[in-house]
């Protein structure tokens, strides 16, 4: 079984004054990974860049660099891709039964299997990072889940369920600089906050976890509720389970990742995989940002 999607992700910056130069980097091209193939892709930039190049970053994500040297008051970056997804959500009952204490012990001891990620990748996924901190508030919040040595899969499912039920999804309630302590104090956030919280809880206990960035299908079948975070880029968590590899969990929607998801890339946290970042040169100040995302089954309708 497979599903094929057409994806359009458009970012528009409108500036109050003329910008003489814009230099940017995108992470807007879906990865080729087991269960997902990018059949075609392009990144369009308006005004046309004087220079552009594609690259694969440290984490294996596909990026595009560009430099616009034409004076402008509006910058539009549009990514278009067609993706085939065959990924199925794993059956929790079929995943290896290994206690979280044992997972932490194996990573600390450098004991990984032949088909598992390298010990360097796993230990890197244990470290604090710009948006994932080892705060006492996170440890206290996570304590009930880690009170006993439970199977790793149960830990992942419970953390996702607690985030979904204990915290409210509220657009605009946080910024990219919101900490896990602030999130827990206000009990509201968005998908990247929830992913960062779950990653922090896992890493605090010696369990490798990384940040996954991508999208969810925006149009659910008739009678099914629209998923949270479906109108923009989405974020979820990949956690290592020995014998299963990286298991992907979406705490925002309290579920394992399936064929409704398209992966852009992964890293330590959001700072490694923002869809677009850069620098501009202008004598003015102020800008307005608009983002639109469409991810629909191929052939549903034409895109703008």
Return d(Cα 180, Cα 195) in angstroms, integer.
10
Who wins on pLDDT, 244 or 113?
244
pLDDT of 301 over the 70 cut: no
The pTM of this model reads 0.93
Q: What is the pLDDT of residues 175-192, one digit of tens each?
A: 989 999 999 999 999 999
For residue 226, what pLDDT is reported? 67
Return d(Cα 228, Cα 15) in angstroms, integer.
30
Average pLDDT over residues 228-246: 88
User: Which domains are present in the chain?
Assistant: 3-86+274-297 (2.60.40.2250), 92-258 (3.10.620.30)
DSSP states of the chain: --EEEEEEEEEEEEEEEEEEEEEEEEEEE---BTTEEEEEEEEEEESPPSEEEEEE-TTS-EEEEEEE-S-EEEEEEEEEEEEEE---PPPGGGS---BHHHHHHHHHHT---TTSPPHHHHHHTTS-BTTB---HHHHHHHTTTTSS--BHHHHHHHHHHHHHHHSEE-TTS--TT--HHHHHHHTEE-HHHHHHHHHHHHHHTT--EEEEEEEE-SSPPTTSPPPTTTTS-EEEEEEEETTTEEEEEETTTTEE--TTEEEEEEESSGGG--SEEEEEEESS--EEEEEEEEEEETTSS---
For residue 302, what pLDDT is reported? 46
Q: What is the pLDDT of residues 137-179, one digit of tens each?
A: 999 999 999 999 999 999 999 999 999 999 999 989 999 899 9
Provide the percentage of residues in the chain whose pLDDT is more than 90: 84
Q: What is the mean pLDDT of the chain?
A: 93
Residue 26, both tokens: 């995108």
Contacts (Cβ under 8 Å, ≥6 apart) of 150? 99, 100
CA separation, residue 104 to residues 21, 53, 110, 118, 248 (Å) = 48, 40, 10, 15, 18
Average pLDDT over residues 251-271: 96
- How confident is residue 230, by pLDDT bands cut at 50, 70 and 90? low
Provide the percentage of residues in the chain whose pLDDT is more than 70: 96
pLDDT of 303 over the 60 cut: no
Q: What is the pLDDT of residues 60-104, one digit of tens each?
A: 999 999 999 999 999 999 999 999 999 999 999 999 999 999 999
Who wins on pLDDT, 257 or 283?
257
């Amino acid at each position: 079984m497979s599903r094929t999607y057409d994806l359009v992700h458009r970012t528009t910056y409108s500036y109050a004054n003329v910008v003489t130069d814009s230099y940017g980097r995108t992470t807007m091209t879906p990865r080729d990974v087991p269960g997902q193939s990018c059949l075609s892709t392009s990144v369009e930039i308006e005004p046309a860049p004087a220079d552009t190049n594609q690259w694969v970053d440290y984490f294996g994500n596909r990026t595009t660099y560009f430099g616009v040297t034409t004076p402008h008051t509006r910058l539009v970056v549009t990514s278009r891709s067609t993706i085939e997804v065959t990924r199925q959500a794993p059956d929790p009952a079929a995943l290896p039964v290994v206690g979280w204490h044992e997972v932490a012990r194996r990573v600390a001891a450098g004991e990984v299997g032949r088909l598992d990620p390298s010990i360097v990748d796993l230990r890197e996924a244990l470290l604090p990072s710009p948006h994932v901190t080892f705060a006492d508030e996170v440890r206290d919040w996570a304590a009930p889940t880690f009170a006993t040595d439970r199977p790793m899969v149960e830990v992942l499912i419970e953390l996702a369920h607690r985030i979904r039920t204990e915290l409210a999804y509220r657009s605009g309630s946080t910024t990219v600089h919101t900490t896990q302590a602030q999130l827990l104090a206000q009990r509201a956030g968005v998908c990247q906050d929830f992913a960062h919280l779950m990653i922090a809880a896992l890493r605090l206990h010696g369990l490798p976890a990384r940040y996954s960035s991508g999208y969810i299908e925006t149009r659910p079948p008739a009678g099914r509720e629209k998923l949270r975070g479906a109108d923009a880029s989405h974020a979820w968590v990949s956690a290592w389970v020995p014998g299963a590899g990286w298991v992907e969990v979406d705490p925002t929607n309290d579920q394992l990742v399936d064929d409704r998801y398209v992966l852009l890339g992964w890293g330590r946290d959001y700072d490694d995989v923002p869809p677009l970042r850069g620098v501009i040169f202008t004598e003015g100040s102020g800008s307005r940002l608009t983002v639109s995302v469409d991810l629909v089954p191929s052939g549903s309708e034409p895109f703008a």
